[in-house]
Amino acid sequence: MKTNTSESTSRSTAIYELDGRPPITQAFPLGLQQLLAMFVGNIVPMLLVSGTAGLSTAESTLLLQCSLLGAGVATLIQAFPIKFGKVQIGSGLPVMMGLTYTFLPICISVSVNYGLAALFGAQLIGGLVSIIIGFALPKVRRFFPPIVTGTIIVSIGVSCFPTAAYNLAGGQGSPDTGLAYNWIIGGIVIVAIMLCSGFGKGLVNAAAILIGMVAGYLVSVVWGIVDFTPVAEAAWFSLPKPMAFGLEFHMDFAVVFILLFFINAVEMTGDFTVSATGGLNRQPKNSELQGGIIGNSVACIFSSFFNCFATGTYSQCSGIVALTKVCSRFVMGCAAVTLVVAAFCPKLSALLSTIPNCVIGGATIVVFSMIALSGMSLVSRSRFTSRSMLLCGTSLALGLGISFAKDTLAGAGEYVQMFFGESSIILVAGTALILNILLPKDGVDKVVEEEMLAEIRQAAD
């Protein structure tokens, strides 16, 4: 009896240990909770790009299929890192990976104007260079205090607002744009998400966006605006086709992607820190941060060949770890395996491709607003001093202002228009970095910087 009690206690506490291996009856539901929290966010970039770029149903289905595969592989690399001597590929921390929104504006622009082959080629080059970023990141973390990273994240959310609004209205360029049923169904999605987030508990709260989209989808089916023909025609099982769109290499796009990979690495550092401090009650080690960035670089290289966009950590999943203290890598592995298995079922991807634009728009209105406000939460750590407000405000006004008024760069040439006009994040990040170095710090600013440097020192091996 004592042995059984000991085994039972060990199994019950395994979910709270990084290397714990709880029984599958525990691990799978907890992994499903993580999957539900990131699933919609993972497929939305593909839905937005396929809709904006005017891809065929078969191409959209393939992209969705590959988005599941890419997220699953990226998560497995993070959960179960590979070591080559002192080099670690993967963080070994309890994080979930999925398509990152850092690249979304430029992905939409490149796919519409130059095609997916150019996008995946630039991503491949960026992923290779990002390996170097992984080695260098621990040494340059001090140049990215909360005021800089927060400002960048705010710009990511705000720059996606027009895309969300167009989808809420039915999709940019669609003949149905602006019709009443789009606004009604999108409004139902938003209300459902608000109700689940405000009054739901446990899994209902964690899956609020998924529940909201399901509600909107069911209304769309009753309304008669969903065509199930692609689902009927899709196979039950199919291997994702590598390089289905080809690879084209343009160095101008590659430079943009390299800069975005750096920004993505900074964001991921924040999520690694949330998972480590919240779930493990410690700062992440430099080897974990370095391995996490290198691991994601390898995953993005894989994704470039398998028609998937760049991946990154999902903050909501790190938040679940911090809230529940469930930090078993085995739990994350269960969620990742589920994603990989789902990637081999085109019927599921075809079903996802039938989601109307207005449903996507309702969900992304909430998602992008939360991204923007999570950035503001980071900015607030700088305590809204005159310096922090000047840095944040100027960076956002310059970067977002130019991206919303692209014609102001008409005389600067195509490269400059693409580099700064299509991706406000680059200009926002550059301005924030320069101002952070140049603007003098007062007493409060110095205290905030010392707090950040203390956190970095604690993270050293």
DSSP-derived 3-state class of residue 311: strand
Average pLDDT of the segment spanning 142-154: 79
Residues forming a β-bridge with 89: 82
Residues forming a β-bridge with 83: 88
d(Cα 228, Cα 114) in Å, to the nearest integer?
Answer: 30
pLDDT tens digits along 400-430: 888 777 777 766 666 666 666 556 677 887 8
Average pLDDT of the segment spanning 2-29: 68
* Residue among 342, 294, 309 at smallest CA distance from 72: 342
The answer to whether 426 touches 260, Cβ cutoff 8 Å, is: yes
So what's the pLDDT on residue 328? Answer: 86
So what's the pLDDT on residue 121? Answer: 92
**Res. 295 pLDDT band, cuts 50 70 90:** very high
pLDDT higher than 60, residue 110? yes
So what's the pLDDT on residue 49? Answer: 86
CB atoms within 10 A of CB 129: 17
- Beta strand extents in 46-152 (DSSP E only): 82-84, 87-89, 97-99
So what's the pLDDT on residue 12? Answer: 53
Task: Spell 444-456 as b/e; 16+ CB within 10 A means b.
Answer: ebeebbeebeeeb
Tell which wins on pLDDT, 245 or 175: 245
So what's the pLDDT on residue 354? Answer: 79
d(Cα 422, Cα 53) in Å, to the nearest integer?
Answer: 15
The phi and psi torsions of 88 (rounded to 5 degrees) equal -115, 130
Helix H segments across 281-356?
Answer: 286-305, 315-324, 329-342, 346-353
C-alpha distances in Å from residue 442, one per residue of 27, 391, 437, 439: 49, 14, 13, 10
Torsion over CA of 139, 143, 147 and 151, rounded to 10 degrees? -90
Residues forming a β-bridge with 87: 84
Q: Which of 69-73, 150-154, 317-321, 424-428 has the highest mean pLDDT?
A: 69-73
Instruction: Report how far Cα 85 is from the mean position of its chain's Cα atoms.
Output: 30
Average pLDDT of the segment spanning 250-271: 81
pLDDT tens digits along 211-221: 888 899 899 98
- How much is the mean pLDDT over the chain? 80
Q: What percent of the chain has pLDDT over 70?
A: 86
pLDDT higher than 80, residue 290? yes
**Res. 124 pLDDT band, cuts 50 70 90:** very high
So what's the pLDDT on residue 388? Answer: 85
Stretch among 125-134, 138-147, 385-394 having the lowest mean pLDDT: 138-147
Stretch among 208-222, 317-331, 351-365 having the lowest mean pLDDT: 317-331
pLDDT tens digits along 53-88: 888 878 888 888 888 899 999 999 999 999 888 889
So what's the pLDDT on residue 40? Answer: 72
pLDDT tens digits along 222-232: 988 888 887 78
d(Cα 21, Cα 364) in Å, to the nearest integer?
Answer: 35
Average pLDDT of the segment spanning 109-118: 85
Average pLDDT of the segment spanning 368-391: 80
Tell which wins on pLDDT, 348 or 340: 340
pLDDT higher than 80, residue 165? yes
Copy the structure tokens of residue 345.
């079922």
**Res. 9 pLDDT band, cuts 50 70 90:** very low
pLDDT higher than 60, residue 5? no
Copy the structure tokens of residue 156.
């990511």
So what's the pLDDT on residue 458? Answer: 59
Average pLDDT of the segment spanning 348-372: 79
So what's the pLDDT on residue 125? Answer: 93
So what's the pLDDT on residue 1? Answer: 47
d(Cα 198, Cα 205) in Å, to the nearest integer?
Answer: 8
